């Protein structure tokens, strides 16, 4: 068997064992670079890929190769330059991307009964260290609904893939469990339907609809903070499903402990199963995401260009996709070619269009809302802890985001002295550096300010 044939065997088996998105991401540009009796060297395109192979795929690859070469003792992964193309895997990946390319043009219809959008699947969900735990938990639920983690509670910032993952759970179960009654909905929608049911005196129907499900998936549950009637109904729906071992999945932009104004009994339910977070992807993962997404869209954009995008767009996956689409547009306009400078210009335009401005008023409103206090409480003379802290955070954000002067910041909060503003900004700045939880909290507030 030649090196190429041997690697082809590995590719064939791996393709069956992992998701197409992961296969396309990790196995592109891989090959066997040296084959000796006891040792095989596998060339991978980056150090990150090398780490990933060593940690994730090594055992599987070793098993497959050992089957073919009994004397095999060792596999080494070596990094070859990222812009080199080694192409055993290429064709197979092209096949996948062509298939996916067609999918792009297919209309995705939201199922009226389940509310699920079939475009969100596990197959096109890319897994990296930033979302590994949430993905693993989601997957185990699909295999054993109602049995392993109940509820599953997934939280993370804007655009990191919560909705995608939640819907993937629903879609997969819809596919493998024919008789299952599944419902996906935003918590806000649940609340609206509840209000309607109360108005039209059809609560029995409403209850029946939600309490007879096999799987209930509720997105953005933070919405129910402060909404008593909705919380009560979520609580009873939860209990009724939980007692029957029916699976419940929630998502939120923050952990249960940080959702304001939520009944304790409900919070403890949210915390009673499995809580998994999704972070923001690091550079290597952003690049992997771009590679997969451009393969899915059938775009032949070079790694060099994708690297420029991954370096410049550092936030969430939604933005990454937006930037890729913009670049793809320029690419087509240019007759399927692109220079570095054109890409940079496109990204600059994109960043400008994304860059939202904010105002002192908006920051103050968002902070008050986030900590669930009144705007007037922020300027009040009180020194109560629950007001002092949000006030200091608001001052800090006014300084950091808008560069307001200290006197004018003090002015905005009940005509306080500028030294108060200086003290607040210093204090929060220091704490942000030391306290990861606060850092995350402020990050969430900022997301809201700019969303």
For ligand ADP, which is the closer residue by CB, 161 or 255? 161
Site for ligand ADP in 90-109 (CB under 6 A): none
Which of 50, 318, 423, 446 contacts ligand ADP by CB under 6 A? Answer: 318
Cβ at position 104, least distance to Mg ion in Å: 21
Task: DSSP letter for 178, please.
Answer: T
Q: How far is the CB of 278 from ligand ADP (least distance, A)?
A: 7
User: What order of strands is seen across the sheet that includes strand 39-44?
Assistant: 31-35, 39-44, 74-79
Contacting residue, 61, 96, 126, 266, with ligand ADP by CB under 6 A: 126
Does 159 engage in binding with ligand ADP (CB under 6 A)? yes
143 contacts 176 by C-beta, under 8 angstroms: no
Q: What is the DSSP letter of 94?
A: H
Reply yes or no: is the peptide bond before residue 15 cis, omega within 30 of 0: no
Residue 159 binding: pick among ligand ADP, Mg ion, none (C-beta 5-8 Å cut-off by kind): ligand ADP
Does residue number 189 form part of the binding site for ligand ADP (CB under 6 A)? no
Does 161 contact ligand ADP by CB under 6 A? yes
Q: Which is closer to ligand ADP, CB of 277 or CB of 303? A: 277
Q: Which of 125, 238 has the CB closer to ligand ADP?
A: 125
Residue 172 lies near ligand ADP (rule: CB under 6 A): no
Counting every residue, how long is the chain?
451
Tokens matching residue 409: 């910041």
Question: Which window, 64-72, 303-311, 315-323, 411-419, contacts ligand ADP (CB under 6 A)?
Answer: 315-323
93 binds, among Mg ion, ligand ADP, none (CB under 5 to 8 A by kind): none
Q: CA 135, CA 441: separation in Å to the nearest integer?
A: 23
What span, in angstroms and rounded, lies between the C-alpha atoms of 218 and 234?
10
163 binds ligand ADP (CB under 6 A): yes
The CA dihedral of 122, 125, 129, 134, to the nearest 10 degrees, is -50
Nearer to Mg ion, 431 or 440 (CB): 440
Instruction: Quote the CA–CA distance of 292 and 126 in Å, as a whole number.
Output: 8
Q: Which one of residues 18, 266, 317, 404 is an interface residue with ligand ADP (CB under 6 A)?
A: 317
**If residue 252 lies in a helix (H) or strand (E), which one and from where to where?**
strand 247-252
d(CA 204, CA 207): 5
Window of 2-10, 47-55, 65-73, 152-160 that interacts with ligand ADP by CB under 6 A: 152-160
| 182 contact choice in Mg ion, ligand ADP, none (CB below 5 to 8 Å, kind-dependent) | none
Which of 125, 184, 387, 396 is in the footprint of ligand ADP by CB under 6 A? 125
* Nearer to ligand ADP (CB atom), residue 30 or residue 124: 124
* Footprint on residues 128-147 left by ligand ADP (CB under 6 A): 131
User: CA–CA separation, 2 vs 415, rounded Å?
Assistant: 79
What minimum distance in Å lies between the beta carbon of 427 and ligand ADP? Answer: 31
For residues 416 and 406, what is the distance between their CA atoms, to the nearest angstrom? 10
Distance between alpha carbon 274 and the CA centroid of its chain, in Å?
17
Other Cβ atoms closer than 10 A to 211: 17
Euclidean distance between CA atoms 53 and 48, whole angstroms: 9
Closest CA to 287 of 263, 303, 265: 303
Instruction: Answer yes or no whether residue 324 interacts with ligand ADP by CB under 6 A.
Output: no
Q: Where does this chain bind Mg ion (CB under 5 A)?
A: 162-163
Which residues of this chain interact with ligand ADP, rule CB under 6 A?
A: 124-126, 131, 156, 158-164, 317-318, 321
């Amino acid at each position: 068997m030649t090196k190429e044939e041997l690697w082809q065997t590995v590719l064939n088996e791996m393709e069956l064992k992992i998701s197409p998105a992961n296969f396309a991401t990790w196995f592109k540009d891989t090959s066997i670079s040296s084959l000796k009796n006891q040792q095989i060297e596998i060339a991978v395109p980056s150090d990150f890929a090398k780490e990933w192979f060593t940690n994730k795929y090594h055992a599987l690859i070793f098993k497959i190769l050992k089957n073919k070469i009994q004397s095999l003792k060792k596999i080494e992964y070596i990094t070859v330059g990222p812009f080199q193309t080694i192409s055993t895997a290429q064709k197979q990946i092209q096949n996948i991307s062509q298939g996916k390319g067609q999918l792009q043009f297919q209309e995705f219809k939201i199922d009226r009964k389940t509310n699920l959008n079939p475009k969100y699947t596990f197959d096109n969900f890319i897994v990296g260290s930033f979302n590994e735990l949430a993905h693993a938990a989601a997957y185990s639920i699909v295999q054993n609904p109602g049995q392993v983690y109940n509820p599953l509670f997934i939280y993370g910032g804007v655009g990191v893939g919560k909705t995608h993952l939640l819907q993937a759970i629903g879609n997969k179960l819809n596919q493998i469990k024919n008789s299952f009654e599944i419902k996906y909905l935003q918590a806000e929608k649940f609340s609206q339907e509840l209000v309607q049911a109360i108005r039209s005196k059809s609560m029995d129907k409403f209850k029946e609809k939600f309490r007879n499900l096999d799987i209930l998936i509720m997105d953005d549950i933070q919405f129910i903070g402060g909404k008593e009637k909705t919380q009560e109904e979520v609580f009873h729906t939860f209990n009724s499903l939980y007692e029957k071992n029916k699976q419940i999945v929630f998502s939120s932009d923050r952990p249960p402990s940080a959702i304001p104004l939520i009944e304790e009994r409900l919070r403890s339910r949210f915390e009673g199963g499995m809580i998994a977070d999704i972070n923001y992807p690091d550079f290597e993962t952003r690049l992997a995401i771009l590679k997969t997404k451009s393969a899915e869209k059938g775009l032949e954009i070079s790694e060099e260009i994708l690297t420029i995008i991954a370096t410049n767009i550092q936030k969430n996956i939604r933005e990454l996709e937006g930037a890729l689409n913009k670049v793809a547009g320029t690419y087509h306009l240019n007759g399927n070619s692109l220079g570095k400078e054109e890409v940079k210009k496109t990204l600059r335009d994109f960043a400008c269009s994304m860059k939202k401005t904010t105002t002192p008023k908006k920051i103050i409103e968002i902070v008050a809302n986030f900590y669930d206090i009144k705007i007037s409480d922020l300027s009040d003379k009180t020194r109560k802890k629950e007001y002092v802290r949000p006030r200091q955070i608001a001052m800090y954000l006014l300084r950091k985001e808008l560069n307001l002067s200290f006197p004018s910041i003090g002015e905005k909060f009940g005509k306080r002295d500028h030294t108060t503003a200086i003290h607040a900004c210093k204090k929060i700045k220091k704490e942000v550096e030391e306290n990861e939880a606060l850092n995350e909290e402020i990050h969430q507030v900022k997301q809201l300010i700019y969303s």
